[in-house]
Amino acid sequence: MSYKETVAKKKQFLQDQIPKEWIIKDVKSPSEEPNVNKYIESPEYGLLSPREIEITNYTLQELLKNQLDRKLTALEIAKAFTHRAVLVHQITNCCTELFLDHAYKQAESLDNYLIKTGELIGPFHGIPFSLKDQLNVKGVATSIGYVDKLFDVITDEDQESLLVQQLRSQGALLYMKTTVPMAMLSYDTYSTAYGYTENSLNRNYAPGGSSGGEGVVIQAKACILGIGTDIGGSLRCPAAHNGIWSLRPTTNRFSYMKVLNSFQHQEVIASTIGPMAYRLEDLVYFGEHILGDESIQWIKDPKVPPLKWQTNIEIPEKLTFAVMNWESTGIKPHPPIIRALEMVKKSLLSQGHELIEWDPPIVNTDLYKLLWDVFKIDGFKEVKDEANKSGEPVEYVFLGHEGITSAAEYWSLVAERYKFQQIINDYWLSTKAQTNTDRPIDGLLTPGWQFCALKLGESPKFNGDYSKQFNVLDLPAVQIPITKADSKIDLKDETYKPLNEDDQDNHDRYDAEFYHGANASVQLVVLERFGEEKVLKLANVVKKAVELPN
């Protein structure tokens, strides 16, 4: 069977999972209906009932309370969210797997448990989750963007991801896996296996990557929480481009056990797994209940440290934030993102917090180079070999690279990374001399990304100039959606003289009219590994200062 036939077969298989009564007969084009939520909830099309719209707009806490109060069943939740999910998929091409019956069976079990005991089975009782297509679920394929893996079904429960098993045991509803690019190594979500995925804020935009499908379904309210991964920005990029929240945790804070990956056991700079959500409080709730007392995370996964989530963490009343100067990256962000960062700075200052400049003795491009050297450690042989199994074309970004040839080269990469971590840690400690609080900075603010989103179908440049360095340093980071682009305010600076070729490329991409309404995010980083609780607490300070809606 040719790779094109395999792709067509998978497409039909996925279509067959959609109940006939939920099939959209005439999907409107992106120019007709650019915003997915407005499209789906429009009375004009009648795609969802008023009750389904109500249920899928409930918060996590409202879903739990309404079940306890017997105003809502888990099965009703499952039906409403799976309906919305298959509609979103038909509009944006965001799903790789739909396994709706799993959610219905789980929901019936949860409802029976609640009737018998009067209690919820766990913290995620009846809460809809989505999974990036690298987490293993029994009875479902995991492809990580390769044609050859489109029908690689997980047949044994022992192959399931530990996080999947934990979520299910705590009551989560699982019913979809979402699109990724080939090998999950792109800041867009396109693959020969599935084609292009559209952004749910505006379908004319790309959704970012590599957890792009997750960004789409969360913004489109097809689930409450999603699970993504990040080795160069793959949790933060889709969050920035779709206008949601995400947490890039320290490596191994959450278990990666039995999660399929490219370069599966590469640990020079390892991928990390974490949550994405429509609301900040849901990221906190996830951490608290995945890493609670005697968590299965560290009991079963030797890589996960036994660090219970701290629910009572306190932060000083007056905080000091450093702000990354965009010139240090050589890439000027688009006007809406600059304005978002200025909004945050102004709001924090008005609340009595302190701001200083972030100017470490290290060049960002050196950090980028190290990450890229790690990515191409085998000259992308693994990617090429996997693509060759089906005959699908290899994406251009993986061509023309040579890998390392000795153990000494490998060890030098490990040493270089450790050196960079020490330099940044020493610099962070030295900031105590610049603050008025007699302690180092509490957090670092950066632009969320250098652009609001790519135009759908554009060949993505390997970007991530505000994300990659924090993978090298392995620092916790959260993406904060601040505002929307405004074509009347966020004008292109036609007098700007770009600093380099990449800056020119980024400058040329900006079109104020095209990006009107796009999301503009800010990234918040803490300089202590395993500081996830702290970075989310600081993010809440930013949220309140800017007066972001709940």
At 134-176, the pLDDT tens digits run 999 999 999 999 999 999 999 999 999 999 999 999 999 999 9
Q: Which domain-ending residue is among 300, 331, 354?
A: 300
232 is in an annotated binding site: yes
Q: Are residues 89 and 36 in the same domain?
A: yes
From the candidates 200, 210, 211, 328, which is the catalytic residue? 210
**pLDDT of 400 above 70:** yes
What is the C-alpha separation between 525 and 523, in angstroms, rounded? 7
Retrieve residue 459's tokens.
């060949």
210 is in an annotated binding site: yes
Q: Are residues 248 and 330 in the same domain?
A: no
What is the C-alpha separation between 405 and 68, in angstroms, rounded? 60
Q: What is the CATH number of the domain that holds 61?
A: 3.90.1300.10
- Look at residues 155, 213, 150 and name the one whose alpha carbon lies nearest to residue 181: 213
The answer as to whether 30 is a domain residue is yes
Q: Are residues 89 and 199 in the same domain?
A: yes
Note whether 444 and 358 are within 8 A (CB): yes
From the candidates 143, 191, 200, 234, which is the catalytic residue? 234
The answer as to whether 314 is a domain residue is no
* CA atoms 487, 490, 496, 498: torsion sign: negative
Containing structural domain, residue 206? 3-300
The answer as to whether 184 is a domain residue is yes
**Would you list the DSSP string of 39-53?**
HHH-TTTT-S-HHHH
- What contacts 367, CB < 8 A, 6 or more positions away? 420, 468, 469, 472, 473
Q: Which domain-ending residue is among 245, 267, 300?
A: 300
Q: Are residues 515 and 420 in the same domain?
A: yes
From the candidates 10, 79, 130, 132, which is the catalytic residue? 132
- What contacts 516, CB < 8 A, 6 or more positions away? 485, 486, 487
Query: Average pLDDT, stretch 421-427?
Result: 98
Q: Are residues 400 and 492 in the same domain?
A: yes
Mind listing the pLDDT tens digit for each residue in 24-68? Answer: 999 999 999 999 999 999 999 999 999 999 999 999 999 999 999
Q: Is 543 in the active site? A: no
Q: Are residues 283 and 338 in the same domain?
A: no
184 is in an annotated binding site: yes
Q: Are residues 375 and 507 in the same domain?
A: yes
The answer as to whether 310 is a domain residue is no
Q: Are residues 535 and 402 in the same domain?
A: yes
Q: Are residues 467 and 434 in the same domain?
A: yes
Mind listing the pLDDT tens digit for each residue in 456-508? Answer: 998 756 678 899 999 999 999 999 999 999 999 999 999 999 999 999 999 99
The answer as to whether 313 is a domain residue is no
The answer as to whether 361 is a domain residue is yes
Q: Are residues 253 and 355 in the same domain?
A: no
* CA atoms 449, 450, 454, 458: torsion sign: negative
How would you class 268 by CB atoms within 10 Å of its CB: exposed for 0-12, middle for 13-18, buried for 19 or more?
middle
Q: Is 161 in the active site? A: no
Amino acid 480: pLDDT: 98
The answer as to whether 495 is a domain residue is yes
**Where residue 227 falls among pLDDT bands split at 50, 70, 90?**
very high
User: Containing H/E element for 263?
Assistant: none
What is the C-alpha separation between 134 and 116, in angstroms, rounded? 36
- What contacts 540, CB < 8 A, 6 or more positions away? 280
Q: Are residues 470 and 331 in the same domain?
A: yes
Q: Across all residues in the chain, what is the average pLDDT?
A: 97
The answer as to whether 43 is a domain residue is yes
- Look at residues 196, 268, 181 and name the one whose alpha carbon lies nearest to residue 229: 181
Amino acid 396: pLDDT: 86
If one counts the domains in the chain, the total is 2
Q: Is 461 in the active site? A: no
Q: Are residues 296 and 373 in the same domain?
A: no
